[in-house]
Structure 1
């Protein structure tokens, strides 16, 4: 069970995964050792799976981001999944229900690069691409409290 203190810890870490134990203790009103123990328990239970950083792909020349819906041709599902995994510019991919089996996020430097990468899927799938203009909601947790 997740209590209010755990929710505070998780929210703070989602905001800044480099928060110190001292900072987290100040947020929760607990001692640093108590915070450390709570984090250890959250890790052991699999609630807290890791700590990460957010890197802006634009600093590496990836100026365009696209969402690609991918519909494998008959019998090509596994090959499409292998192709997606083999293209490092695909930074996220979900296997979904519906007509499109995959929805993926792709980062590219140019429109020509986008075309080249999507061409690698041509013999295996149909694609539908949308260029991301803005991300009004960044990745976040759903509400943690029971509703």
Structure 2
């Protein structure tokens, strides 16, 4: 079970995973050495799985942020999944979900033309419903 300090460590690492252990310790009222030991324990217990970065997609030229609900045509989903694996330049996340659709794709595209081609190719495997993000609040 995680205590208040562990939750604080996770919150701070989620904001900045490059923070020094000394800075982390100061934020959660521990020494740097104690903070490092807590982080190591969280890693060993599988609570912290990996460290990553958040990329500013518009800075990379991917201005179109799309969410796509996927409706499969058949019960065999492998053709769709294989297609998605080839689209790593555009697909940020592919979630298997419950509800009306089978999957939910989070994607980024540099232009409407690229999005249109992606949807044309996607439609060979599944039906879809597209939503475009207007603004992140």
The answer for the alignment partner of 2:62 in structure 1 is 62
Unpaired runs of 5+ residues, structure 1, are: 137-147
The answer for the alignment partner of 2:127 in structure 1 is 126
CA contact (8 A) 2:68 2:128 kept: yes
CA contact (8 A) 1:76 1:124 kept: no
Using the alignment, how far apart are the partners of 1:23 and 1:51 within structure 2?
A: 17
SS of residue paired to 1:17: coil
**CA RMSD of superposed structures (Å):** 1.1
Query: Per-residue CA shift, 1:24-69, capped at 9, x if unaligned?
Result: 1111221111111100000011111111211101111101110000
The answer for the alignment partner of 2:98 in structure 1 is 97
Moved over 4 A (4+): none
TM-score (norm 1): 0.88
Unpaired runs of 5+ residues, structure 2, are: none
Using the alignment, how far apart are the partners of 1:42 and 1:18 within structure 2?
A: 16
TM-score (norm 2): 0.94
